[in-house]
Structure 1
Amino acid sequence: MKLIIAEKPSVAKNIADALKVKEKKDGYFEGNGYFITWAFGHLLELFDAKDYDSKMTSWKLENFPFIPSTFQYKVKMDPKYRQKPDQGASKQLKTIHYLMQRNDVVTIISACDYDREGQLIGDSIIYKIKTDKPVYRLLLNEWTPEAVLSGLEKLKPNTEMRPLLDAGISRQWTDWVIGINLTSVATLKYQKGKGKALNIGRVLLPTLKIIYDRDREIENFVPEEYFKLTATFQLENQQTYEGSYTEDGEDKFKKKETLERIEQAILNKKGIVTDKQVERKKEFPPFLFNLSNLQGYITNKYKGWTADKVLKVAQGLYEKKLITYPRTSSVALEESLIEKTAKVLKTIAEDLPYKDEIKFARSKRIFNNAKVESHSAIIPTYLKPKRLSEDEAIVYNAVKNRFVMQFMPVAEYEETKIQTKVIDAGLSGIFHTKGKIQLAEGWKKVERIESKDTILPIIEADNRVMVLGDTISSHVTKPPKPHTEMTLLRVMETCGKSYKEEDSEELLGSILSGFSIGTPATRAETIKKLKEVGYITTQNKNLMCTELGRRLVETFPIKELFDLEFTGRLEKSLSDIEKNRVRKQQFLDIVFQFTSKAVETIKAGQDITIHQVSSEKKLNEALGNCPVCGSKVLEGSKGFGCSNWKNGCKFVIWKNDKFLATMKKKATKSMVKSILTNQVAFVKGLTSKSGKKFNAYLRYEKNPEQDYFSWKMEFKNN
Structure 2
Amino acid sequence: MKLILAEKPSVAKNIADALKIKTKKDGYFEGNNYIITWAFGHLVELYDAKDYDSKMARWKMDNFPFIPDEFKYKVKSNPRNRQYPDGGAQKQLKTIHRLIKRNDVAMIISACDYDREGQLIGDSIIYRGGRPKKQVSRLLLNEWTPKEVLQGLENINSNETMKPLRDAGISRQWADWVIGINLTSVATLKYQKGKGKALNIGRVLLPTLKIIYDRDKEIENFKPEDYFKLTATFQTKDEQQYEGTYTEKKQEKFKKKETLDQIRDAIQNKQGVIRDKQVEKKKEFPPFLFNLSNLQGYITNKYKGWTSDKVLKVAQSLYEKKLITYPRTSSIALEESLVGKTASVLKTHAEDLPYKAEIKFMKTKRVFNNSKVESHSAIIPTYLKPKRVTGDEQIVYQAIKNRFIMQFMPIAEYEETKLTTKVGELNGVFVSKGKVQLVEGWKKIEKIQSKDTILPLVHVNDNVSIVGSKVTSHVTKPPKHHTERTLLRVMETCGKSIKEEEDSEEMLGSILTGFSIGTAATRAETIKKLKDVGYITTQGKNLLSTALGRRLVETFPVQNLFDLEFTGRLEKALSDIQKGKANKQEFLNIVFNFTKESVETIINDQDVIINEISSAKKTNEVLGTCPQCGGKITEGYKGFGCSNWKKGCKFIIWKNDKYLSTMRKKPTKTMVKALLKNKRAHVKGLTSKKGSKFNAYLRYEKNPDNDYYSWKMEFK
TM-score range, shorter chain: over 0.9
Task: Provide the C-alpha distance between the structure 1 equivalents of 2:309 and 2:450, rounded to a whole number of angstroms.
Answer: 31
- SS of the residue corresponding to residue 208 of structure 1 reads helix
For residues 395-453 of structure 1, the C-alpha deviation after alignment (integer angstroms, 9 at most, x for no partner) is 00000000000000000000000000113xx3100000011000000000000001122
1:551 equivalent to 2:551? Answer yes
Cα 1:109/1:684, change in 2 over 3 Å? closer
Secondary structure at the counterpart of residue 65 of structure 1 = coil
- CA distance in structure 2 between the partners assigned to 1:705 and 1:142 by the alignment: 45
Task: Give 3-state SS (helix, strand or coil) of 2:568's partner.
Answer: helix
* Aligned counterparts of 1:53 and 1:394: Cα–Cα separation in 2: 49
Secondary structure class of the residue paired with 1:510 = helix
- Tell me if the contact between 1:286 and 1:505 (Cα under 8 Å) persists in the aligned partners: no
For 1:163 and 1:645, the matched residues in 2 are separated by 50
Match of 2:340 in 1: 339
**2: distance between equivalents of 1:313 and 1:691?**
13
Gaps of 5+ in 2: none
Rounded to whole Å, the distance in 2 between the matches of 1:372 and 1:693 is: 40
Q: For 2:94 and 2:706, locate their aligned partners in 1 and report how far apart those are by CA, in whole Å.
A: 22
Alpha-carbon distance between aligned partners in 2 of 1:593 and 1:688, rounded to the nearest angstrom:
52
The alignment's TM-score, normalised by the length of structure 1, stands at 0.96
What secondary structure is seen at the aligned counterpart in 1 of 2:66?
A: coil
Residue 350 (structure 2) aligns with = 349
Q: 1:88 to 1:492 in 2, by over 3 A?
A: same
RMSD: 2.2
Aligned equivalents of 1:272 and 1:567: distance in 2? 58
Aligned counterparts, 1:328-477, within 5 A: 328-423=329-424, 426-477=425-476
Contact 2:232/2:243 (8 A) holds in 1: yes
Residues 170, 702 of structure 1: alpha-carbon distance in 2 compared, 3 angstrom cutoff: farther
Q: Decide whether the 8 Å contact of 2:78 with 2:86 is kept in 1.
A: yes
Deviation readout 1:681-700 (Å, 9 max, x if unpaired): 24467788999997643212
1:147-296 equivalences in 2 (<5 Å): 147-296=148-297
- Aligned residue identity for 2:68: P
CA offset at residue 669 of structure 1?
A: 1.3
* Alignment-derived partner of residue 33 in structure 1: 33
Distance 1:162 1:255 in 2: 66
Q: What is the rounded CA distance, in whole Å, between the counterparts of 1:436 and 1:284 in structure 2?
A: 17
Over 3 Å counting, the alpha-carbon distance change for 1:654 and 1:464 in structure 2 is: farther
Partner of residue 490, structure 2: 491
Q: Is the 8 A contact 1:81 1:646 kept in 2?
A: no
Q: Which runs of structure 2 are paired with 1:541-690 in the superposition (5 Å)?
A: 541-624=541-624, 632-636=632-636, 639-641=639-641, 652-653=652-653, 667-683=667-683
* One-letter identity of the residue aligned with 2:402: N
Identity %: 74
SS of the counterpart of 2:36?
strand
Task: Write the letter of the residue equivalent to 1:551.
Answer: R
Residue 66 of structure 1 aligns to a residue whose secondary structure is coil
Secondary structure of 1:404's counterpart equals helix
Q: Give the match's secondary structure for 1:16.
A: helix
Give the direction of change, closer, same or farther, for the CA distance of 1:467–1:107 in structure 2 (3 Å limit): same
Distance 1:630 1:505, change over 3 A: farther
Q: Which one-letter code corresponds to 1:563 in the other structure?
A: D
Q: SS in structure 1 opposite 2:510?
A: coil
SS of the residue 1:480 aligns to? coil
Amino acid at match of 1:610: I
For 1:355 and 1:707, locate their aligned partners in 2 and report how far apart those are by CA, in whole Å.
62
CA contact (8 A) 1:499 1:508 kept: no
CA distance, structure 1, for counterparts of residue 562 and residue 509 of structure 2: 24
> Unmatched 5+ residue regions in structure 1?
none
Q: Which amino acid aligns with 2:150?
A: L
Per the alignment, residue 19 of structure 2 pairs with 19
Query: Could you say if the C-alpha distance between residues 394 and 119 of structure 1 is closer, same or farther in structure 2, counting changes exceeding 3 Å?
Result: same
Does residue 1:66 correspond to 2:66, yes or no? Answer: yes
Letter of the structure 2 residue corresponding to residue 259 of structure 1: L
Greater Cα offset, 275-284 or 507-516: 507-516
| 8 A Cα contact 2:7 2:111, kept in partner | yes
Aligned match of 1:125: 125
Q: How does 1:293-304 map to 2 (within 5 A)?
A: 293-304=294-305
Matched to 2:574, the amino acid is L
Q: Structure 1 165/685 Cα, relative in aligned 2: closer, same or farther at 3 Å? A: closer
Residues 131-187 of structure 1 show CA distances to partners (whole Å, capped at 9, x for unaligned) of 111100000000000000000011000011000000000000000000000000000
| Offset of residue 601 of structure 1 | 1.1
What is the rounded CA distance, in whole Å, between the counterparts of 1:500 and 1:452 in structure 2? 22
Answer whether contact 1:287 1:505 (CA < 8 A) is retained.
no
Moved more, 647-656 or 561-570: 647-656
Distance in 1, Cα, partners of 2:450 & 2:551: 45
Q: Distance in 1 between matches of 2:313 and 2:703?
A: 30
Q: 1:694 to 1:504 in 2, by over 3 A?
A: closer
Match in the other structure for 1:53: 53
Aligned to 2:317: 316
Following the alignment from structure 2 to structure 1, what is the Cα–Cα distance between the partners of residues 235 and 374? 56
Q: Distance in 2 between matches of 1:557 and 1:684?
A: 49
Distance 1:664 1:13, change over 3 A: closer
**Greater Cα offset, 683-692 or 371-380:** 683-692
2-structure distance, mates of 1:500, 1:535: 26
**Compared with structure 1, are the counterparts of its residues 341 and 709 closer, same or farther at alpha carbon in structure 2 (3 Å cutoff)?**
farther
Residue 687 to residue 119, structure 1, CA distance change in 2 (3 Å): closer
Write the deviation string for residues 449-505 of structure 1: whole angstroms up to 9, x where unpaired.
011221222122222100010111111111110000000000000101143334335
- What is aligned with 1:514? 514
Aligned-partner residue type, residue 181 of structure 2? I
Matches of 1:632 and 1:594 in 2, distance apart? Answer: 51
Instruction: Report the alpha carbon displacement of residue 604 of structure 1 after superposing the two structures with TM.
Output: 1.4
* Cα distance in 2, alignment partners of residues 599 and 91 from structure 1: 39
Between 1:667-676 and 1:409-418, the stretch displaced more is 667-676
Q: Structure 2: how far apart are the matches of 1:708 and 1:283?
A: 63
Match of 2:8 in 1: 8
Aligned-partner Cα distance in 2 for 1:53–1:465 = 88
Cα distance between partner residues in 2 of 1:548 and 1:484: 19
- State the aligned residue count: 714
Q: Deviations over 1:23-55 (max 9, x none)?
A: 011111011111100000000000000000000
Who is 1:89 aligned against?
Answer: 89
**Secondary structure, counterpart of 1:82 in structure 2:** strand
Once residues 591 and 154 of structure 2 are traced to their aligned partners in structure 1, the CA distance between those partners, rounded to angstroms, is 40
Question: 1:110·1:138 contact (CA, 8 Å) conserved in 2?
Answer: yes
**Residues 363-400 of structure 1: CA deviation (Å, up to 9, x unaligned):** 11100000001110000000000122110011000000
Q: Report if aligned partners of 2:390, 2:691 keep a CA contact under 8 Å in 1.
A: no
State how far apart, in whole Å, the 1-side matches of 2:277 and 2:332 are. 38
SS of the counterpart of 1:431?
strand
Query: 2: distance between equivalents of 1:226 and 1:643?
Result: 66
| Cα separation, 2, equivalents of 1:548 and 1:251 | 43
- Normalised TM-score (structure 2): 0.96
